Structure 1
Amino acid sequence: MMISPTTAGVISNAHVKYPAGLITDHIKTAATAKKSSYPTMSVTVDSTLLTGTYANKHKVPALVWFNEHEKRFISYGSDKKEIIKLGPKQVLTESVINLKKNHLSDEATTIHEELDARGLQSASINTLVFRGDKTQMLHVPKLLEVFQFLNKDTSVKGPSYFSYGILSQLNPKNKYTHLWQGFGFNDKFATEELKYLIEQDRVPSFSLIYLSDNDKKVHKKGVNQTEGIEDADKRLQAILNKYGSWEKALKDNLWIVMGDNGQTNVKDDKKTALVDLRKVLKDYRIHKISGNIQKQDQIVLGLNERMSFIYLLDESIKQEILQNNFKRTIALTR
């Protein structure tokens, strides 16, 4: 079995005979390749883990990017201010529906799809990327429906066992779905979902479980905090205990515990830690994400924390000039 204190965990019954290379090929490419998936944003890395391909093939470039074919700014929700400017409905539509249906390339087959094609079932619990072959209806809360953030009859393509916070849960008695609990996108909810499958003797051939609380705590408190890892360890113990003994849990399943990427501290001094792209690019018209692309827009920024995409809409802008501007800016901050 494989579980992660930060992202996806894969669980597979050891007694199931898999076609040669099916899972190992994905894992080798995604987890042990010499080249890391880039950029290290969760949706991009998780798409690599799920398909065994890099972003150039699975086509999910980052958390925030610009769709040059549709001339549209895409965000799966990276910052509260950004979500407010774009509108929760747009961000939810992009992250819940478009990411899996339209953005993740059909040419990059997911593990769920490959297993289903071979007559094997799989599960996805709170993972960001989950595309499978089964139509799954979402349970849209009244609050989201009233504000028209999501339609009542919204459905997605997922695996046989699909859990996605309050929008889709396996255990009808799972109570960790309140507003202050992130509507189910928390470690307690995810753990209860997997425990439910174990209790019901319904653990499929392959499962991914996403434990996201550690990621949130590290972003808030820094890389030296271990509370998130300790809590994740307790969740893992609770899961193993459902088998009666840890020996039985290890005998019945193959477990892998991993994270999707690492994190690093940023300097406290904003003057040296941050590069204000608005100042560097002050001579150009930068697209305002609160509206549609305008004819006069020259540049679109796709800000992804410690990296950024800079899309040039105006063909007259020379990349060499921009590069020199950045070099001067970086030199001044040192």
Structure 2
Amino acid sequence: MPPKLVLTVLDGMKPAMLERAIALGRAPTLKAIQERGAYVDDCVAAFPSVTPVCAASIATGTSPDRHRIPSMNWFSREEERYVEYGSSFSASRKFGVLRSLTDTVYNMNAKHLAADTPTVFELLDDADVRTAGTTYLMYRGRHEHHVTTDTPLARIANATVFREPVNGPRELFYADLFASRRTGCRGQFGMPGARDAHTGCVGSYLVEHDLFDFLLFSLPDNDTWSHRNGPHAQVTSIAAADRQLERLVHAGGGLDRFLEEHAMIVMADHSHTHVEQKIRLDTAFADWAIARPNGAGATDGEIAISPAQRSAMIYVLPEERRSQRAADAAALALALPGVDLAMRRAAPREGVIASERGELHFAPGGDLVDLRGRRWSVDGELETLGGRIEDGRLLTPDYPDALGRVWSALTCPTAGDVLLSAGPAYEFVDWGGAAHIGGGSHGSLHRSDSLGALLWCGTGPANRDAHEQWTLRDVLPIVTEHFGLPTPAAG
């Protein structure tokens, strides 16, 4: 049997801030993992680079076109309503708090995540690997779990909205809602600032009682801290996350003994960039009929707008003239200060990316090869993406894996007709009127919030050279290969 494996997702961890925390001596456990293994300082996030999309890519090893989670906020044409995963509490109130919680806790995994795209838990469960997970957006596995009633908060939740069981890993601990066994750990109902400590408590219990072969160890509080205080304040929150890793290691007999018995992967799902100004799509499209949230669904409208931090989507609802109206919407949005890129499909197999620097048409297949080895044909201004061609290779350093990420987002069945990416320092105001001015945010195609940290030891390739450009999708194959399973087809 291979060593046990812990996959830690440290939400929003910016590589420069990880390196600073290590240099200052505030992240000794992360330093040990880095020194004993490999480190990637530019692992490319999914697009949009918001947590639900990135979490789905980590959990499934695929892109949005396969896993079908398009953004933080999106419009379901099938149900004719908005889906809101918790952009802010004010946004959740706008759509109905119970509806938002139901979408986030239940529907994201049971209905929205593609049923034919297995998660890491499902793949390992099917191979009789003992799986475990702490509070993480993507938890779908093969084992049924009922809502716990061990805490007053859980009993209140059970009496109101959370009544149905879920399918998760063998050992599932999701806030205080689901707990496969009594650990004595309390998650304060998943409140920011308490989530990492809950993960540390649960993780140390699982190590002490030898309850897993694979553990997804989720540390989300860095993201909340960075949203509030800015990415350059992350040293404090990364140090706090490191203390929970230290807690896990201590439960296994200390660093040396723990790393003899456990392989480790630590990764960010995306990065963060500083926000100084905001973009309001609702006022920009005031002359259009916008579908408005009404708690349970949406009123009639010509378009639905879905802001998601530093990304956004526009849905053209009537089928007639959809392509033309999408082009009109893209042009209007691109004229707004702070909108960097507007993307749409010009044909079933062709995409268009526009910026103030020009317009680029592209399609899969062709003579140009990107850093991921995918082939493309392009027509128009490469300066749209600050791109260049060298020896037949397409390079877009400011927008890593640009064409692959944009194409997978455009071809996601649940995505909007127009995708928008904000320029550095800008953020789209969410439906609740919230933005992270003075703090940090993410979601764009730009490198500033698309390149996260990835490090591992005791598993995986000997060094980072296994891929010229690493992405979130490369982590699932490391996990499955660690346990001797076939490498899943990438998406």
Q: CA deviation at 1:5?
A: 2.9
Q: Quick check: which one's strand share is greater?
A: 2
Which deviations, in whole Å up to 9, do the C-alpha atoms of 1:304-332 show, x marking residues without a partner? 01111101113446233223322333289
Kindly indicate whether the alpha-carbon contact (under 8 Å) linking 1:165 and 1:183 is maintained by their aligned counterparts in 2: no
2:95 to 70, 86, 91: 86
Letter in 2 for 1:88: V
Deviation at 1:63, TM superposition (A): 1.3
Q: Which residue of 1 aligns with 2:178?
A: 168
Distance 2:65 2:258 in 1: 38
Whole-angstrom CA distance in 1 between matches of 2:339 and 2:255: 56
Aligned 8 A contact 2:132 2:215 in 1? yes
> Displacement of 1:245 after TM fit?
2.6
Q: Which has the higher contact order (CA 8 A, sep 6+)?
A: 2
User: Match for 2:69 among 60, 65, 77?
Assistant: 60
- C-alpha deviation, 1:79, in angstroms: 1.3
Residues in 1 aligned to 2:109 and 2:335: alpha-carbon distance in whole angstroms: 40
Give 2:263's aligned residue: 254
Is 1:312 aligned with 2:316?
A: yes
Q: For residue 129 of structure 2, give the secondary structure of its aligned residue in structure 1.
A: coil
Are 1:217 and 2:230 matched, yes or no? no
Please report how far the alpha carbon of residue 170 of structure 1 lies from its aligned counterpart in structure 2 after TM superposition. 5.0
Corresponding residue for residue 156 of structure 1: 166
- C-alpha offsets along residues 31-88 of structure 1, whole Å, 9 cap, x if unaligned? 9998641111111111111111101001111111111222221111111111112222
Percent of matched pairs sharing the same residue: 23
User: What CA distance in whole angstroms lies between the structure 1 residues aligned with 2:44 and 2:198?
Assistant: 33
Correspondence for 1:2 = 7
Q: Which amino acid aligns with 1:143?
A: I
Runs in 1 of length 4+ with deviation above 4 angstroms? 31-35, 331-334
Change (3 A) 1:34 1:96: closer
The aligned counterpart of 2:207 is 198
What does residue 81 of structure 2 align with? 72
1:254-293 deviation per Cα after TM superposition (whole angstroms, max 9, x unaligned): 01111111010011xxxxx222112221111111112533
TM-score (norm 2): 0.57
Q: Which segment drifts farther, 314-323 or 281-290?
A: 314-323
Tell me the distance in 2 between the aligned counterparts of 1:251 and 1:132.
28
Q: Check the 8 A contact 1:301/1:311 in 2, yes or no.
A: yes
Distance 1:244 1:293, change over 3 A: closer
Count of residue pairs brought into register by the alignment: 301
Residue 109 of structure 2 is matched in structure 1 by 100
Q: Which runs of 5+ in 1 are unaligned?
A: 9-30, 268-272
Normalised TM-score (structure 1): 0.83
In structure 2, the CA distance between the partners of 1:183 and 1:174, relative to structure 1 (3 Å rule), is farther
Q: Is the 8 A contact 2:316 2:325 kept in 1?
A: no
Q: Is 2:299 the partner of 1:299?
A: no
Q: Secondary structure at the match of 2:205?
A: helix
Contact 1:7–1:209 (Cα < 8 Å) also in 2: no
Query: Displacement of 1:171 after TM fit?
Result: 5.9
Secondary structure at the residue paired with 2:305?
strand
Task: Select which of 144, 152, 155 maps to 1:142.
Answer: 155
Output aligned runs, 1:10-21, within 5 Å.
Answer: none
C-alpha separation in 2, matches of 1:184 and 1:164? 15
1:124-157 deviation line (CA, Å, top 9, x unaligned): 11111010011111125232244x2323xx2001
- Conservation of the 8 A alpha-carbon contact between 1:47 and 1:60: yes
Query: Equivalent residue of 2:307, what SS?
Result: strand
Residue of structure 1 equivalent to 2:278: 274
CA–CA distance in structure 1, aligned partners of residues 251 and 43 of structure 2: 36
Q: Is the 8 A contact 1:67 1:74 kept in 2?
A: yes
Aligned mate of 1:328, from 329, 335, 342: 335
Match of residue 16 from structure 1: none
| 3-state SS in 2 of match to 1:50 | helix
Change (3 A) 1:77 1:331: closer
Q: Out of 187-196 and 306-315, give the one that drifted further.
A: 306-315
* Aligned-partner Cα distance in 2 for 1:234–1:32: 21
For residues 337 and 69 of structure 2, the distance between their equivalents in structure 1, rounded to whole angstroms, comes to 29
For the 8 Å contact 1:303–1:309, the answer to whether it is kept is yes
Counterpart-to-counterpart distance in 1, 2:44 and 2:9: 20
Query: Match for 1:39: what amino acid?
Result: P
